[in-house]
Every structure is written in structure tokens, then in C-alpha cells.
Structure 1
Amino acid sequence: MRVAYLGLTLLWSLASATILQNGQVKEDPYPGQAPVISLDNSWRNYAPDVPEIAYKGRWDSKHISWWSAPGIKLQFSGNKLAISFGPSTSDGVLVAYRLGSLDWQFSNVTADATYQFIGPWTELADDIVDVPKIFEMRVQIAGVSTASTAELTIPPRYAKKVEVIGGSIASGQYGSYETLSSWAYLFVAGLGNVEHTLTSYAGVCLVDKQCYDGSAHGMTWYWHRASDPGGRSRAFYPEEPEIFDNSAEQPADLVIIQLGGNDHRHPNEIPPRDFYHAYVNLIEDIHSTWPHAVILIMSQWGVWEKQGFSYVPNMVYEEEGRQVHQHFKDRGFVYYFDTTGILQHNDINPKNHPTDVGHIKLASHLLQWTRMVMRWKLEPMGEVQHGTLYWNDQQEY
């Protein structure tokens, strides 16, 4: 399952899936299905390239979103809002959207159609109808429409930015709401007022070689590409994906890297020294692009093994990760975040990915690291499991 922010952020390719809560199937796991509409004279229409639409994450020149949880952010007046989706939108893709910082809602959408996400059913007090409101969504969009008497305005941009680079764990694979359940998203949401890009994709290797049956390249190559290593993007760009100019983006203040699981697994089994050199090269590349960014190496576990009367994690490329940190130590911009002890074996699902609770633990520890080491204030204070109604709210369970 993959999620997509309306036209922009999360790409969930499956229209439905089972979500368990307290061991029971969760009723109405994806609230918020938006109706299909036809635009008439009561709407004011905006093309996808207007400056009032803020694109978040990695998008290509055709306004198609890639990687993990890309999206759009809008500021609009009035009491209705609609999004039109382009011809490259996956049929039935599930997108996530929300108003302000309310809970995320979910809707299936399809190509060449317009869906209304804000309307009479949305609870808007009379005194805020004409007040600018923030709307977020995560997919390709063909345009945005407001009431004919209303308008889009440019949403505020935050001064700080975080980039997360990773594989399936950072992408939230097997989480209830995929990327919205990932430690990466929970962390940036917990920081509050920061911009963020999650450059992560399930199955990607750090080292620039073919991993599994996918792309012939790894993250050291794909960090400069707009689209991800997936089969959908390779079919869309069979020869060469578009270049993504990182230097043209808002510079990141903090870059967190968690890679190695795919390099380590069969049949890839990247030699440790190759992994080390690729890590050094990626960090040098990032530093040359964003010379003022702090870069955090995040360790990664392998399988959990039962030893006697306890479970012990088998860490992946642990020695090489520490050697990379040591290589840059005197230069002062690279830190090492040891995940040992944060997770227990029951925080890991059968495929070695964190459960929702495991992701929350990782995000919480990272938030405190950022508060203490980076001296960033948490605004709001360490918010995690952001914006989804997940926990059991009944006493009879």
C-alpha cells in the first residue's frame, strides 16, 4: 500500500487495505471520500504552475509527484475547494488531505477528473469562511479551483528545512498509513514549523548499482533525479529520468540518512567497504550542495534473534556507519544516531519494519536529539502520530 497527498504527496497505489486496531479490523479506515464534480461558472480556476500552489517534496516538470509523500500546500479563502488530476494519475490512487492541522482524510481519485475536497459538508464557522485557510494534499495535479468570489494566496514558508533520505523504513512501508505513519513524517511533523522533503523509496540501495530487480542505480545517483527508482517511474521515463536540481531548492538545515538494509540483504549483499565509500561520497555530495547543513547518520537494524531468554538485534553495517562518522568527525557537521535500545523485538513486524508504535518511538527519540543537539524548539512540543485517529478510543476493548 502506498499513499499520495492530493495530487502531491503520498502515493498509495492500492485503493483499499485492512487496518487492524487493537487486533480488530478498523471501521472506516479511510474517511473523507471526495465527490467527483464538473466545474462551472461558480468556480475560479488556477493552472498547476501558478505561484500560489506550493509544491512540497520532489516533482517533475509535468507536475507529477514522486518519492515519499510529496504534496501541495494551498492557502485559500471561501468555502469550497476542488483539485483536478492530470492524465498520469494512477487510477484509484488513495490520496491524503487535510484542512489546517486537523486529522488527515483520505480519498480515492483517478486521472482526468475533478474532486471537491472542501464543501458544504466541511465544518467552517461563519467568521472564518473568508479567512485564508491552509489545505494540504499529497499526487499529479492539473489545476486547483476555488469559489468564483474567493482566491488562492501564497502560503507561508518556514525558515528551516529537513530532508530525510532512506528506504522502506523511512517510507513507512507496512505502517497503517504508510508514510504518514513513518518515523520520518512523524519526526518532521513533530518539529512543527519546518519545511521537509522525504527522499525515500522502498527497495533502494545506497550504493549505485542494481538492487533486486529494480533500477540499475542507487541513492548516490538518484539523489539528483526527480523521479524514484520504481517501476512506474521507469515506465514513464524509460531512458533517463529528469534531473532534480537540489541547489535550486531551499537548502536543508538538517539531513537524516537511514540506508543499508537493502544493500545488506540477499541478493544485493554489497561489500562493507563499497558501502562505506558510497556513504562518504553521498555525504560529500550533500555537503557541497548544502554546505551549512548538519547531516545525521542513523543506524539500522537487521533481524532480531532470540538469544537465551532475550531478543537481540543484528545491526546492519554498524562498523561502517561509525567509520563514516569518524571520517567526518573533525569537520563538525556529521553526527551519528545510534538506534540500539530504542526498539524491542515486538516493535518490529515480521518483515523487520517498525510497527506504528516502533515508528513513534524512533520519532520521539529523534525529536529529543534535535532539541538537545540542534537546539531547535519543538513547535508544537514533540507532536507524534500526527493527524490520524489511530488509538483505541473506547473503554470496552
Structure 2
Amino acid sequence: MRVAYLGLSLLWSLTSATILQNGQVKDDPYPGQAPIIALDDSWTSYGADAPEIAYKGRWDSQHISWWSAPGIKLQFSGNKLAVSFGPGTTDGVLVAYRLGNLDWQYSNVTADSTYQFIGPWTEMDEDLIDAQKPFEMRVQIAGVSTANTAQLTVPPKFNRKVEVIGGSIASGQYASYETLSSWAYLFVAGLGNVEHTLTTYAGACLVDKQCYDGQAHGMTWYWNRASDPGSRSRAFYPDGPEVWDNSAEQPADLVIIQMGGNDYRHPNEIPGRNFYHAYVELIEDIHRTWPHAVVLIMSQWWVWRREGLNYIPSIAYEQEAKDVHAHFKDKGFVYYFDTTGILQHNDINPKNHPTDVGHVKLASHLLQWAKLVLRWNMEPLGEVQHGTLYWNDQQEY
């Protein structure tokens, strides 16, 4: 029996939260709690370095995952599947998992334990039991186990890849399911058959300087690092994170950058010219690494102010972002996506982050941009927010 354990990176900072649905508390906000089990001879276990496990997102040499909702994808036969979590796991952390393209399920897990995510309770047609079925988990796992008569295989890799670089808004902070409710995830999920990496972290600045307490670097530096700017990462690696070789990864076809909110606000208040030069530096780094990638600069709204009987939006570093676009305009690989007019003041929560509806609006417009500008087909249908059920589904309310 081959077993290996990995540390678990946070998907959410809280193990549970209140989710409101049409103003009422949702009764079952996190369906899918998995039972803890002990492995026996009825299981075959695969170690962390098994080639059958496809890792998604950024992972360091210890198989610890970082940034926004990294995870694994695999295919398995049989009717049971378990995942083991190692000593680096944050106790009670919430993980998201799903079978095929069905709705996401959620389970709290703890360190040095094994949980069964697929079992007799999983609805499955008879003809699917012996077939290879895709399984996905967003956050790190620590070894996978299947029935001893079953088989684990690596899923096919898609030809296209999207990279998103951003802060808390792209991370989905304050949205119902955080990253899985973010415009960034909804966009890549809506594209369908693309690989994706969400290099986003709440509180990250673009400019490489002290940003809030403890964050000594900005995204121009962290884009080439395996772990994020968070306090947990700094505790794991007090001498600094491991270097991440972007050139060793599948090249991105599209890179979307939405940054500026953290640079702009107190106490950071980065001067506009510093922000401009950092943006140019990051795009030049991306272009050297992935010379065929299209880069999309996404404007960063700030606040809505009331003028008379209207709400007027403002943009953080609006001129600087447009100047960055102008700097690269003749080279033809940089585009500017203006979010003005997509969101209204009631699509923003009190902390200046989108509501769930706001994230859906942004993702929907981005999907149309990719279809019209890049001529990408939506595969299968350009869906938005198909992976969770939290909208009102009652006719009387």
C-alpha cells in the first residue's frame, strides 16, 4: 500500500460562515461533509508523487499548495475514493470537491486523517462504476486511495491555459464560496476546456514594497514564487518562499491582471508613477516568459459616490492603467478591459468587493470578450455559476 501525506493550504480562512439566500440563512450552506475512515486492505493508495494525480495551481517541493484554490484532478474507476491529509493541514479547513461537472461539495478536514469522498451514498449509474470518472478537489490533498480492484488514471490536459493575477477581488473574498464564487474562477470555468492558475491573494499589492504588515514584496516579485504573501506562508518559510519557474509550466494563452486596490488604499497609497512602472515590469516579465500570451489589463473600480440622484463610479489608477496599455499598444498583445458600466453600486458590498451577482456579471462580460476578441469558443456552453446551488429555487418567497 503506497501512502504519502502532504500539508493542506487554506481555501477559506474560516471553517464555516453564514450564507444568506434571499435574505434568509441558508439551511445547508456546505453540503458534502465526508466521513473520516481508516484505510485497510480493501484500498489501494497512491503517493503524493503518483503520476496519475494532476496538480493544478502552484505547489512547492513539499507538495504544499498555495494561492487561490489550487487542487488536483484525476480519473478513477470503482465506487469509492478517499483522500488523506498530512501534518501541515490546518485543522478544520474547508475543502471543495466534485465528481465530474456536478455541483461542488464541501467538507471540513483535519491533519493526519483520511476522508472518504465517494462511497455508497454517491448517486452513480451502474455503467459508471467501472468507467474512468473525473474527480476534482480544490485545495491540496495528501494522497489518494481507491478500491483495490479499481484504477487511478491521469485526466487529459487541455491545450489552452489561462492565468489570473490579482488580489482579494479576483480571489473572491467575501463572496459566498470565496474563490469558487469569484469572477476569476467563474470565467475560467465558463470557458470550459482550459487549464487555469489563479495567482491571486487577498491583500497583495502590485508594487514590490512593504504592503500592509508583514508583506515585504508585491506581485512583481511574488509572481516568481511558489507560495503567497500570507502569514501562514511566512511561518512555513521564514527565510523566504521557494522560487517558482513559470517557464517550466504550460505556457498561458491568456493572462488577466486585476490589481490596484491594495496599492491604492491606506496605509499603502502607492504613487501612481510607481504603480505604472510596476505594471510595465510585470507585463514585460510575463511576455519574456510566455511570448505568445495575450495580456488583459482589467480596470480596478474604487468607490461609488452619490451625485444628486445618481451613483457615479470611480476607478483606482485609471490613467496609469490606460498608460500601461498605451505603452504596449503597438506590440499588439496587451488589451484593456474597462469594467465601467458592468457593475452598479448595489453589486458592491460595503468593503468594495463584488457581491455574488457582481462576480457573475464580470465573468459573463469577460466570456463575451474572449469570444469576440480572441475568437474562443465556449466549451461546452460558456456557463457561469453552474457549480454551486445557492440561488432561490422556490416559487413562493
Common fold by TM > 0.5: yes
Equivalent residues in 2 for 1:1-397 (5 A)?
11-397=11-397
Q: Distance in 2 between matches of 1:215 and 1:185?
A: 25
Moved more, 137-146 or 156-165: 137-146
Give the secondary structure class of the aligned counterpart of 2:312.
strand
Give the secondary structure class of the aligned counterpart of 2:107.
strand
Q: Distance in 1 between matches of 2:134 and 2:293?
A: 28
Give the secondary structure class of the aligned counterpart of 1:313.
strand
Q: State the Cα deviation string for residues 141-184 of structure 1 (Å, max 9, x = none).
A: 33110000001111110000000000000000000000000000
Moved more, 43-52 or 136-145: 136-145
* Letter aligned with residue 301 of structure 1: W
Give the secondary structure class of the aligned counterpart of 1:229.
coil
Q: Distance in 1 between matches of 2:194 and 2:140?
A: 24
Q: State the Cα deviation string for residues 303-359 of structure 1 (Å, max 9, x = none).
A: 111111111111100000000000000000000000000000000000000000000
Q: 1:88 to 1:7 in 2, by over 3 A?
A: closer
Alpha-carbon RMSD: 1.1
* Letter aligned with residue 46 of structure 2: Y
TM-score by length of 1: 0.97
Tell me if structure 2 keeps the 8 A contact 1:187–1:364.
yes
Tell me if structure 2 keeps the 8 A contact 1:171–1:179.
yes
Q: Distance in 1 between matches of 2:307 and 2:386?
A: 36
Give the secondary structure class of the aligned counterpart of 1:286.
helix
Give the secondary structure class of the aligned counterpart of 2:143.
strand
Tell me if structure 2 keeps the 8 A contact 1:67–1:200.
yes
Q: Distance in 1 between matches of 2:378 and 2:146?
A: 33
Tell me if structure 1 keeps the 8 A contact 2:96–2:139.
no
Q: Distance in 2 between matches of 1:378 and 1:9?
A: 31
Q: Distance in 1 between matches of 2:213 and 2:219?
A: 15
Q: CA deviation at 1:7?
A: 7.7
Q: Distance in 2 between matches of 1:155 and 1:9?
A: 23
Q: Distance in 2 between matches of 1:187 and 1:361?
A: 10
Q: CA deviation at 1:99?
A: 0.1
Q: State the Cα deviation string for residues 96-152 of structure 1 (Å, max 9, x = none).
A: 000000000000001100000000000111111010000000234331100000011
* Letter aligned with residue 336 of structure 1: Y
Q: State the Cα deviation string for residues 12-37 of structure 1 (Å, max 9, x = none).
A: 23111000010000011000000000
Q: Distance in 1 between matches of 2:233 and 2:316?
A: 29
Tell me if structure 2 keeps the 8 A contact 1:21–1:392.
yes
Q: Distance in 2 between matches of 1:342 and 1:100?
A: 32
Give the equivalent residue in structure 2 for 1:3.
none
Q: Distance in 1 between matches of 2:135 and 2:7?
A: 12
Q: State the Cα deviation string for residues 21-66 of structure 1 (Å, max 9, x = none).
A: 1000001100000000000000001001011000001111111110
Q: Distance in 1 between matches of 2:174 and 2:142?
A: 30
Q: Distance in 1 between matches of 2:71 and 2:10?
A: 7
Q: CA deviation at 1:8?
A: 7.2
Give the secondary structure class of the aligned counterpart of 1:75.
strand
Q: Distance in 2 between matches of 1:10 and 1:198?
A: 14
Tell me if structure 1 keeps the 8 A contact 2:71–2:141.
no
Q: CA deviation at 1:9?
A: 7.9
Give the secondary structure class of the aligned counterpart of 1:142.
coil
* Letter aligned with residue 205 of structure 2: C
Q: Distance in 1 between matches of 2:307 and 2:301?
A: 16
Q: Distance in 2 between matches of 1:315 and 1:137?
A: 35
* Letter aligned with residue 111 of structure 1: A
Give the equivalent residue in structure 1 for 2:3.
none
Q: Distance in 2 between matches of 1:42 and 1:36?
A: 16
Q: Distance in 1 between matches of 2:138 and 2:185?
A: 13
Q: Distance in 1 between matches of 2:385 and 2:8?
A: 21
Tell me if structure 2 keeps the 8 A contact 1:8–1:137.
no
Q: Distance in 2 between matches of 1:139 and 1:8?
A: 7
Give the secondary structure class of the aligned counterpart of 1:180.
helix
Q: CA deviation at 1:223?
A: 0.2
Moved segments of 4+, more than 2 Å: 6-10, 139-142
Q: CA deviation at 1:380?
A: 2.0
Q: Distance in 1 between matches of 2:12 and 2:310?
A: 36
Q: Distance in 1 between matches of 2:13 and 2:82?
A: 21
Q: Distance in 1 between matches of 2:391 and 2:219?
A: 35
Q: State the Cα deviation string for residues 236-261 of structure 1 (Å, max 9, x = none).
A: 11111011110110000000000000
Tell me if structure 2 keeps the 8 A contact 1:165–1:200.
yes
Q: Distance in 1 between matches of 2:208 and 2:71?
A: 27
Tell me if structure 1 keeps the 8 A contact 2:44–2:146.
yes
Give the secondary structure class of the aligned counterpart of 1:189.
helix
Q: State the Cα deviation string for residues 171-230 of structure 1 (Å, max 9, x = none).
A: 000000000000000000000000000000000000001111131000000000110000
- Structure 2 unmatched ranges of 5 or more: 1-5
Q: 1:100 to 1:8 in 2, by over 3 A?
A: farther
Tell me if structure 2 keeps the 8 A contact 1:227–1:241.
yes
